[in-house]
Structure 1
Amino acid sequence: MNIKKGQINIIISLVIIFFLIVLSKFGTQSVVASFNKSNPINLQEVPILNYHKVDILNHALSVSPREFEEQMEYLYQNGYHTITPDQLMAYLKSGKSLPDKPILITFDDGYLDNYTNAYPIMKKYGFTGTIFIVTNFISKDERFMTWEQIKEMQQNGMIFGSHTANHKSLTSLTKEQALDELNQSRDEIARQLGKPPKYFAYPTGTYSGEIEDMVRKTGYKAAFTIEYGQVGADSDIFLLPRIPIFKGQKTFRSFFIRLNGAPVLEELGIIKN
């Protein structure tokens, strides 16, 4: 999608105003110090987009198919290349090269519209993504995908991870219940797709140090939060931040600012990866 010059000027003006407010609130000393922060591995930071539904519902977590295509078209026209979690991990752990302007696109829950609406649009632009599924909803609730649809998507490059068995906040459960949610989901995905999932996303975004440790010991290689930010050399691979994308009155403008604003906010030390 092409942004008109007037729209760019408005966005730049809003961002400048925002940063002036931030500078007045936090002071210049901490901001300048953040610019001098050294990165021993010298890795560029990678954005991870976080979607839920792609449909016409009037809900904050629902981005319409038209809006979703606008966003995918923007990424395509601006030279972004989608990557897998495996590529991201190889990059973070050993500095293995990534394509220019890498981006990881993720979805939480496994809604049916991820297959009917988002998937065809992503194929149109040659993009792949990662979907974290709630296994006890799959093939059981008509609002969610079926295992047959998931297998088709997997054969075409989509990656599937765990979002637990029942989408319960793990911090609200006993240790035994939380482990059961992790193990049930992992085992069902392995049974259906032929291999256990490597990656996990915290349901409702809630976690603790104990939960993080359980996710690691259950066999997952990394885990994703809903905290805003980009992934870099200093990121905890079991607390990876993402850029949540919401519906709003100006959905594309919000998408544009959240995607392009994250690097600047991190440089200013306002958000940390």
Structure 2
Amino acid sequence: MRIFARLIFTIACLLVNVAASADTNFAGFLVLNYHDILEEEERVPPFDRIGVNKQHLEQHFAWLKKNNYHVISVQDVLDARQTGKSLPDKAVMLTFDDGYQSFFTRAMPLLKKYHYSATLAVVGSWLEQPASYEGSKPIMSTAQIREVMETGLVEIASHTHDLHHSIPANPQANMESAVTSRLYSSEYEEYENDESYRKRIFQEIDKSSEHLFQLIGKRPRVLVWPYGEYNAVALEAAKLAGMSLTMGLSDGLNSLADFAVMKRLMIADDPNVAQFAEILKHQRLDQELRVVHVDLDYIYDEDEAQTKRNLSALLDRIKTSGANTVYLQAYSDPDGDGNADQLYFPNRHLPVRRDLFNHVAWQLRAKAGVKVYAWMPIMAYKADVPLKWYVKEWRDGEPQLARHVYTRLSPFNPEARQFVGEIYEDLAKYCDFNGILFHDDGILSDFEDVSQLAMDYTHNVWGLPAEFEQIHASSALRLRWAQQKTELIAQFTDYLADKVRYYRPNIKTARNFYALPLLKPYSEEWYAQSFPAFLMHYDYVAIEAMPFMENAADPKRWLTELVQKTAAYPHGLDKMVFELQAVDWAKQQDIAMPVFIEQFQLLKKNGAKHIGYYPDNVYHDQPRLDELKNFFPTQKKY
């Protein structure tokens, strides 16, 4: 059965690759994003990361022509979608954001020279003061916008009316996207509610369409999201305003299925032609992750001033380390049992220790330049809910509350599922982050879950016997039961991710994974975890590459086997994050840096791509920063 399952998984991966390849050949296209275009003499410190030298822009255009790329327009995409007309091979769309004067004076002559189409996204409120909005770069006049539109080469898109700015998004007054953030009032110490948020977004997007119509005589049919930030509410508003084609800011290739939100490659750091070619070739999708796993409980202090000092030390450490990703605890677990007692964000179900997660995530992203994943339990919540919501185990001949250290809500119970789903929904409403790390509490043993709802589901939906003893008496039935539970928990995390994606659609997912189900796949029976299942459900799988925790007789051989087992699965190494341990919990002592570095290098030597560690201790410098920073960095952050 295991061999058959592996075969099916391999075939499925091949089919996905074939489908992706077919899409690339017949309907795939890139969208490139530019902003300000500069003369050489304007390239003076401090450098504008999104400004591009005019000479480099012309080199980009010439390279596209020489390499047989076909620059397409919005109309080409609309025709392909509506009539089935094929897009040309190596299709690329050009977009320019913000409506700077430099588009008119520097980019437009090059578009005419190469006869390239482009989309120009303009901000309605900025057009009301085009000479210089808020003392910043000069903006095109309405007459200039009409002029470029009348060439037939330029599609005028909305960049919203007045949402291209940031608003206070938490009690610490961090400024975040006006499109996706809930406005926080320091006067009333409260967040904008659902109704007020929705009304604000709909009014602003509708106003952008009406305002552009009054200025240039044509309603926009494209909306370009400021900073690439959007959510389901904003997409609904755009569609109602007649702009069903929108554009974000994420790397990758588009198909016609991405019509609602196109991915765009931002051209940053003024790349020369060789660098430009590399960006188009790889689309910046192959970055190796260097992950630091951080306990927010270690940063929090009852004294807010001390919390601030702790956070400052963390920011300096993460920035210096070379990490590009942080798994950041979003729940509070002061007793260290792995269960969520409180949360670090506003929510409707558990106490808030302090509204802190969004503030720390913002600081890490803005000041340390890393991606932040919200580390959250799947099922382990200590909550004032009915006991029947919790996982039951078979003990002493009857179902009883499970004795596992994780006090888990049952994924079979619809009320419990909704409870957890609403926690994740609240996380996404009030916090801005890049991904979710699902905690390692997502396990069910070969004696769990035997609550009444679970056993009814096991029998009525999966067709297994209704009695626990009958299932447990057969090794074949136990394995079938475990495989079904593996998939059920994975589908539950998909549901939780969907709750988040309603408000944060670009998040990635990762899930903690015990080592034994990889090394000994039959142990799925004891965990309800499986690497093939995880590969199908998550962007990344974070395995506990911790030989001392596992009492491995030969840690080097154990780690080598871990990488080799991973590599045996299609795309296994592309998705696996190997999390080393920085502490030997059994001995209550730090892992010596020579051992830590040796293990890191061993993983790399054997083909590991993504590597991290847990825990990070900012207070006594473990792992040692002066050594970590020399081998931890990977390629440039974007």
Of 246, 265, 269, the residue aligned with 1:243 is: 265
Larger radius of gyration: 2
Of 165, 169, 180, the residue aligned with 2:161 is: 165
Of 228, 232, 242, the residue aligned with 1:205 is: 228
Moved more, 67-76 or 175-184: 175-184
Aligned: 1:185 with 2:191: no
Please state how far the C-alpha of 1:263 moved relative to its aligned partner: 10
Aligned counterparts of 1:150 and 1:59: Cα–Cα separation in 2: 24
8 Å CA contact 1:43, 1:233 repeated in 2: no
Structure 2 vs 1, CA of residues 139 and 115 (structure 1 numbering), >3 Å: closer, same or farther? farther
Please state how far the C-alpha of 1:36 moved relative to its aligned partner: 3.3
The 5-angstrom pairing of residues 129-168 of structure 1 reads: 129-138=118-127, 140-142=129-131, 143-157=138-152, 158-166=154-162, 167-168=164-165
Please state how far the C-alpha of 1:42 moved relative to its aligned partner: 7.5
8 Å CA contact 1:115, 1:145 repeated in 2: yes
| Corresponding position of 2:476 | none
Aligned length: 240
8 Å CA contact 1:109, 1:133 repeated in 2: yes
| Corresponding position of 1:215 | 238
Aligned counterparts of 2:18 and 2:70: Cα–Cα separation in 1: 29
Moved more, 101-110 or 196-205: 101-110
Aligned counterparts of 1:264 and 1:72: Cα–Cα separation in 2: 23
Instruction: Give CA-to-partner distance per residue, 1:76-105, whole Å, 9 cap, x none.
Output: 222233221121122134321334533210
| Corresponding position of 2:17 | 35
Please state how far the C-alpha of 1:163 moved relative to its aligned partner: 0.4
Aligned counterparts of 2:159 and 2:285: Cα–Cα separation in 1: 30
The 5-angstrom pairing of residues 1-273 of structure 1 reads: 34-37=16-19, 43-55=26-38, 56-57=42-43, 58-138=47-127, 140-142=129-131, 143-157=138-152, 158-166=154-162, 167-168=164-165, 169-172=178-181, 174-235=197-258, 237-248=259-270, 250-262=271-283
Please state how far the C-alpha of 1:32 moved relative to its aligned partner: 5.1
Aligned counterparts of 2:29 and 2:64: Cα–Cα separation in 1: 14
Aligned counterparts of 1:223 and 1:189: Cα–Cα separation in 2: 16
Look up the SS of the partner of 1:36 in the other structure: helix
TM-score, normalization: structure 1?
0.78
Structure 2 vs 1, CA of residues 92 and 263 (structure 1 numbering), >3 Å: closer, same or farther? farther
Aligned counterparts of 1:171 and 1:132: Cα–Cα separation in 2: 19
Instruction: Give CA-to-partner distance per residue, 1:148-205, whole Å, 9 cap, x none.
Output: 1111101112110000112133112522221222112111111122121000011111
What percent of counterpart residues are identical? 25
Look up the SS of the partner of 1:37 in the other structure: helix
Moved more, 30-39 or 186-195: 30-39
Structure 2 vs 1, CA of residues 69 and 171 (structure 1 numbering), >3 Å: closer, same or farther? same
Structure 2 vs 1, CA of residues 187 and 32 (structure 1 numbering), >3 Å: closer, same or farther? same
8 Å CA contact 1:43, 1:95 repeated in 2: no
Structure 2 vs 1, CA of residues 80 and 41 (structure 1 numbering), >3 Å: closer, same or farther? closer
Aligned counterparts of 2:257 and 2:217: Cα–Cα separation in 1: 33
Taking only aligned residues, the RMSD between alpha carbons, in angstroms, comes to: 2.9
Look up the SS of the partner of 2:102 in the other structure: helix
Look up the SS of the partner of 2:86 in the other structure: coil
- 1:88 maps to a residue whose letter is V
Look up the SS of the partner of 1:161 in the other structure: strand
Of structures 1 and 2, the one scoring higher in RCO (CA 8 A, sep 6+) is 1
Instruction: Give CA-to-partner distance per residue, 1:226-253, whole Å, 9 cap, x none.
Output: 0111211442x222101111124x5333
Look up the SS of the partner of 2:249 in the other structure: strand
8 Å CA contact 2:26, 2:88 repeated in 1: no
Structure 2 vs 1, CA of residues 136 and 67 (structure 1 numbering), >3 Å: closer, same or farther? same
Aligned counterparts of 1:264 and 1:172: Cα–Cα separation in 2: 27
Aligned counterparts of 2:238 and 2:279: Cα–Cα separation in 1: 28
8 Å CA contact 2:213, 2:220 repeated in 1: yes
Aligned counterparts of 1:128 and 1:205: Cα–Cα separation in 2: 21
Moved more, 208-217 or 194-203: 208-217
Structure 2 vs 1, CA of residues 42 and 102 (structure 1 numbering), >3 Å: closer, same or farther? closer
Look up the SS of the partner of 1:88 in the other structure: helix
Look up the SS of the partner of 2:79 in the other structure: helix
Look up the SS of the partner of 1:247 in the other structure: coil
Look up the SS of the partner of 1:171 in the other structure: coil
Look up the SS of the partner of 2:115 in the other structure: coil
Aligned counterparts of 1:264 and 1:32: Cα–Cα separation in 2: 20
Please state how far the C-alpha of 1:206 moved relative to its aligned partner: 1.1
- 1:154 maps to a residue whose letter is M
Aligned counterparts of 1:73 and 1:193: Cα–Cα separation in 2: 31
